[in-house]
């Protein structure tokens, strides 16, 4: 006859194997659309970098030499229009000329706020 100790070991292994089979597999993590898109872009770190680059781009655009903006607006034939809200216009542009920030005021605020 096997020793009682052996029988106990065998039964303990049977129990352990049985318990192992009962442990459910870890459920798959279900990701939402936003999380999926975030992961596709490389996670929060990458997205933060993208946001920084975007804001920086807007800032650069807003603070670009006024002549470029004015010339651009003139080329579009907008310089003839009067605009009382043209507070951002530079010295190179007349008071009646729309500055580029007149069309992008919201963006400038955003750039300042970060």
Partner 1 sequence: MPYDALNDVPDEALLVAYGNGDGAAARALTMRLAPRVTGYANRLLKDRAEAEDVTQEAMLRLWKIAPDWRQGEAKVTTWLYRVVTNLCTDRLRRKRGSALEDIPEPEDDTPGVEQSMQNSARAQALEAALRLLPERQRQAVVLRHIEGLNNPEIAQVMDISVEAVESLTARGKRTLATALAARKEELGYTDG
- Residues at the site binding partner 1, with contacts judged by CB under 8 A: 1-3, 6-7, 9-11, 13-15, 17-18, 21-22
C-alpha angle with apex 100: 99 to 105, nearest 5 degrees?
A: 100
CB closer to partner 1 out of 10 and 53: 10
Q: How many helices (H) and strands (E) does the chain have?
A: 5, 0
Cβ 22 to partner 1 shortest distance, Å: 7
Least distance (Å) from partner 1 to the CB of residue 24?
13
Q: Which is nearer to partner 1, 24 or 106 (CB)?
A: 24
**Closest distance of CB 16 from partner 1, Å:** 8
Q: Does residue 103 contact residue 72 with C-beta atoms inside 8 Å? A: no
Q: How many CB atoms lie within 10 A of CB 71?
A: 14
Residue nearer to partner 1 on the CB measure, 13 or 95 = 13
């Amino acid at each position: 006859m096997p020793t009682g100790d052996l029988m106990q070991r065998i039964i303990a292994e049977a129990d352990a194997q049985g318990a192992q089979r009962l442990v459910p597999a870890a459920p798959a993590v279900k990701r939402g659309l936003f999380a999926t898109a975030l992961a596709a872009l490389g996670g929060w770190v990458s997205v933060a970098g993208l946001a920084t680059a975007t804001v920086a781009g807007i800032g650069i655009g807003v603070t670009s030499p006024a002549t470029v903006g004015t010339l651009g607006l003139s080329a579009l034939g907008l310089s003839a229009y009067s605009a009382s809200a043209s507070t951002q216009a530079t010295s190179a542009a007349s008071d009646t000329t729309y500055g580029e920030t007149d069309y992008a005021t919201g963006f400038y605020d955003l750039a300042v706020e970060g």
